[in-house]
Every structure is written in structure tokens, then in C-alpha cells.
């Protein structure tokens, strides 16, 4: 990965974007794609649509990636200045005690810590259970009157950690779900723009509010109305201790991007994704999805009269924690796979199952 690309990846990962507050990442996407896309628009939901016009005889394609990350929201400020909070998206209470967080207040970012009674003061029976969010507080280290001046109910918080390389070809950060997808989508559009190869009209839909019900994907799919769409997200790596592969599949970091298969996926789109990976020499993995998926694909497929939909993912360890882990080679492989898929769509392409 080139250093300029890595800096962009770090920038979008560390830009705060809890669900409903995606504007900082949206601004980075608009800035990055402003010179490559034919048009860049932002809808009333906050989703960014960057379109590269192409051959109208070829199928139009949308690549959907979500900009939002999980986080926390202030629900109450005590007289002493401690913050009570609720989860924004699927936050695991078990990982919070001892965490540092950033409170995104109107006047700027404030550092806080998640406080809990020390183990010495917790009753023996209570030590065996996870402390619920309702029993945790955020400590800003400030007097109560100063906190009430700086912070309002409804302010959001993110985990106070960022991007770092570690090990051999691995990276760790909060919010790889799904801001690595945002990075990949931007790279795909740039490659298509620079290649000079024929392709249909291609739109990157950087969507909002996926973590609370794929809400941005619902409106983006309806508004763009592509002939074929790909959702890109992360999926659970199962290559570390304690994961039942017979139940969750054998998905490995470093094994390549993951192509989903199941009723949420158009069978022609699935086969074309596999063919694109093999044509590009990209290692890939398969994942069974026997029902609707927990991704933008679930909403895109049933938009309007139905949209031929596929799902590609990057394997991710420790999802929805402050230490999400990916293999950077999988990210690069996804860029190559998705670019080739779009390039291979031609006038004869059909997505009707059985035809």
C-alpha cells in the first residue's frame, strides 16, 4: 500500500463518525473523489454518491459502503460532572471498563475515561458478570459546572484509539467496520477513472446509519436505482481460538476477500465475482449466508422492483471492539477484485436467475 493511500485510510478510520454523525468521513470522501468522479453529491440523509459516468449500453453498478461506526451517546450529566451514556450501535459492554474515549462536544473534543468500581470494591458474586452500561460512567476529570458548560445530552463519543500497523502485514484500529470499505470503494473508482477501460456508469454510495438498520442503503439504492449493486463490508474472521468453524465457517485474515453466497445474493453476481477474482489472480474465500445478511445488501436487494446484489467482505477479527484487526493484503485484493468485476460487465450481462 502506497504511503499516500495509507494516510487516507488512517484519516477516515480516525475521523469520528458514530451513526448519525458521519459528516467528517463524508467530507473526506468528497475531497478524495472530487477530481476523479464525474459528479459527487450528498443526499438529505448524509450519504455521499460519487458517480463515474460510463457506457450507457453496459449495466450501471453501485458499490455501497457504510461510513458510520459504533459509539456512545451522552444521556445524563450528574451534578458532579460524570456522564451516563447509551450505546450507538452494537457496543459490547464487556470491553468498556478502563477505555479512554473522545467526547465530541460542540466546542471540541474532550478526553474521557470509562469508570467502574475497582475489583476490590465489587462484591464477589458481581465479579462473575459483565458490568452493564447503566453501571458505568464517563469521567472527564473536570468539575461538574465545567462539564455541564462543555457537554450536552446527545453528544456522541468514540473509542479513543486509532490506526496502527502491527505484526506481519496486519493493522489494528477502531472502525475498520466499515471504513476500510469506504477506503476500498474510493480506490476502485479512482482505478476505473485512470484505467481508460470501458465500463458502465459506476457509483460509490458511501452510506449512513448502517449500524442501526442499513437506513442509508435503503434511500441510496432507491435514489440511484442501479442495475447491479455490490455491498462491501467486513465479516467475522474465524482464525483465532474459541470460534466454532463448523458453525461460522473457515474465514482467515490474509486468505483474501470473502464472497458471500445465499438468498440475499443474486446467483449471476456471485458467479461473476468469483470469475473476476480468478481472472485477476486474487485469492478469495466463500461464506455461506443462508438468510438476509447484516449488511447494506439486505436493503439493496429489495429496493424498487429488486436489484441484482452481491456482497464482498474483508475478514475482520474482534468486530465491534476498539481493536478490530485486518490483513492489509485482503484490502488490496478487494480493490483488484471489485475493479475487475465492474470492468467485466458488458452489454450481454443478464442477472435474471436461471437465464
Distance of alpha carbon 19 from alpha carbon 72, whole angstroms: 10
2-50: pLDDT as tens digits: 889 999 999 999 999 999 999 999 999 999 999 999 999 999 999 999 9
What value does the mean pLDDT take over residues 210-237? Answer: 98
Residue 149 confidence (pLDDT) above 90? yes
Residue pair 186/193 in contact by the 8 Å Cβ criterion: no
Residue 125 confidence (pLDDT) above 90? no
Q: What is the pLDDT of residue 7?
A: 97
Q: Which of 116, 109, 114, 214 is nearest to 155 (CA)?
A: 109
Residue 297 confidence (pLDDT) above 90? yes
Return the minimum-mean-pLDDT range out of 129-138, 159-168, 212-221. 129-138
- Which secondary-structure segment (H or E) carries 299? helix 297-300
Q: What is the pLDDT of residue 324?
A: 98
Residue pair 40/48 in contact by the 8 Å Cβ criterion: yes
Q: What is the pLDDT of residue 121?
A: 67
Catalytic residues: 210
Residue 174 confidence (pLDDT) above 90? yes
Residue pair 267/289 in contact by the 8 Å Cβ criterion: no
Residue 227 confidence (pLDDT) above 80? yes
Record the pTM. Answer: 0.96
Beta strands in the chain (DSSP E): 39-42, 48-52, 61-66, 71-77, 83-88, 100-105, 108-115, 137-139, 156-159, 164-166, 170-173, 202-207, 228-236, 258-261, 285-288, 308-316, 324-327
Please report which confidence band the pLDDT of residue 293 belongs to, taking 50, 70 and 90 as the band edges. very high
Strand partners, 228: 61, 308
With a pLDDT cut of 90, the percent of the chain lying above it is 94
- Grid cell listed for 264: 440475499
Q: What is the pLDDT of residue 134?
A: 92
Residue pair 42/29 in contact by the 8 Å Cβ criterion: no
Residue pair 177/7 in contact by the 8 Å Cβ criterion: no
Q: What is the pLDDT of residue 3?
A: 87
Sign of CA pseudo-dihedral 147, 151, 154, 159: negative
Q: Which of 52, 20, 56, 23 is nearest to 39 (CA)?
A: 52
Residue 171 confidence (pLDDT) above 90? yes
Residue 53 confidence (pLDDT) above 70? yes
> Is residue 55 classed as helix, strand or coil in its secondary structure?
coil
For 350, half-sphere exposure in the C-beta direction (CA atoms, 13 angstrom radius) is: 4
> Is residue 12 classed as helix, strand or coil in its secondary structure?
helix
DSSP state letter for 317? B
User: Angle at CA 345, nearest 5°, toward 215 and 284?
Assistant: 75
Report how far Cα 83 is from the mean position of its chain's Cα atoms: 27
Amino acid at each position: 500500500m502506497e504511503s499516500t493511500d495509507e494516510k487516507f485510510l488512517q484519516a477516515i478510520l480516525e475521523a469520528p463518525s458514530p451513526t448519525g454523525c458521519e459528516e467528517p468521513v463524508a467530507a473526506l470522501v468528497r475531497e478524495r473523489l472530487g477530481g476523479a468522479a464525474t459528479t459527487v453529491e450528498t443526499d438529505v440523509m448524509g450519504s455521499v454518491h460519487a458517480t463515474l459516468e460510463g457506457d450507457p449500453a453496459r449495466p450501471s453498478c453501485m458499490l455501497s459502503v457504510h461510513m458510520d461506526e459504533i459509539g456512545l451517546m451522552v444521556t445524563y450529566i450528574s451534578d458532579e460532572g460524570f456522564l451516563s451514556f447509551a450505546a450507538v450501535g452494537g457496543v459490547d459492554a464487556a470491553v468498556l471498563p478502563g477505555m479512554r474515549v473522545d467526547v465530541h462536544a460542540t466546542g471540541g473534543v474532550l478526553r474521557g475515561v470509562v469508570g467502574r468500581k475497582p475489583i476490590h470494591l465489587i462484591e464477589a458474586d458481581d465479579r462473575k458478570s459483565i458490568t452493564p452500561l447503566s453501571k458505568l460512567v464517563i469521567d472527564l476529570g473536570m468539575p461538574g459546572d465545567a462539564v455541564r458548560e462543555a457537554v450536552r445530552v446527545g453528544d456522541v463519543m468514540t473509542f479513543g484509539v486509532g490506526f496502527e500497523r502491527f505484526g506481519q502485514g496486519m493493522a489494528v484500529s477502531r472502525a475498520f467496520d466499515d471504513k476500510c470499505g469506504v477506503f476500498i470503494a474510493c480506490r476502485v473508482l479512482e482505478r476505473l477513472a485512470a484505467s481508460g477501460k470501458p465500463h458502465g456508469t459506476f457509483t460509490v454510495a458511501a452510506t449512513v446509519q448502517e449500524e442501526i438498520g442499513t437506513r442509508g442503503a435503503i434511500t441510496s439504492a432507491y435514489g440511484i436505482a442501479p442495475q447491479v449493486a455490490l455491498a462491501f463490508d467486513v465479516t467475522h474472521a474465524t482464525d483465532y481460538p474459541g470460534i466454532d468453524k463448523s458453525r461460522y465457517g473457515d474465514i482467515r485474515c490474509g486468505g483474501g476477500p470473502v464472497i458471500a453466497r445465499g438468498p440475499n445474493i443474486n446467483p449471476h453476481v456471485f458467479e461473476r465475482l468469483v470469475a473476476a477474482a480468478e481472472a485477476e489472480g486474487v485469492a478469495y474465500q466463500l461464506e455461506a449466508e443462508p438468510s438476509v445478511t447484516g449488511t447494506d445488501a439486505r436493503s439493496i436487494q429489495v429496493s424498487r422492483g429488486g436489484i441484482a446484489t452481491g456482497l464482498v467482505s474483508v475478514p475482520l477479527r474482534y468486530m465491534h471492539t476498539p481493536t478490530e484487526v485486518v490483513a492489509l493484503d485482503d484490502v488490496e485484493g478487494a480493490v483488484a477484485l471489485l475493479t475487475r468485476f465492474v470492468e467485466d460487465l458488458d452489454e450481454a450481462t443478464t442477472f435474471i436467475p436461471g437465464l
